[in-house]
Structure 1
Amino acid sequence: AVNDALDGAPELINSDPYGEGWIYEMTVEDPAVLETLMDAGAYRDNLA
């Protein structure tokens, strides 16, 4: 799914990225791979 609301309000990406500003939705075939992803805090730590 793609968030068509962004066509009329692209600022939502910055103002509400975890709510109405989502970009697309995807389905993961193997949920185990999600365990290898970094969350926002781990990503920030990785940048430091």
Structure 2
Amino acid sequence: MRDIIEGPPEPGAPRPPLWKRLAWFIGLAVSASAVTAVVAYAMKALLPDYPHG
């Protein structure tokens, strides 16, 4: 059976292409920002609504 979690690359193994590494970075950054926004809006929704003024 194939391992679910891969170990670190072997020493001297070729690095993945730049486009693939950038795609992972951008994907992680966008999803982290989206999750942060969702949590922030959810927390804001839990706050009581005080009248302004």
Q: TM-score range by the shorter chain?
A: under 0.3
Q: Greater share of helix residues, 1 or 2?
A: 2
TM-score in terms of structure 1 length: 0.25
Structure having the higher Rg: 2
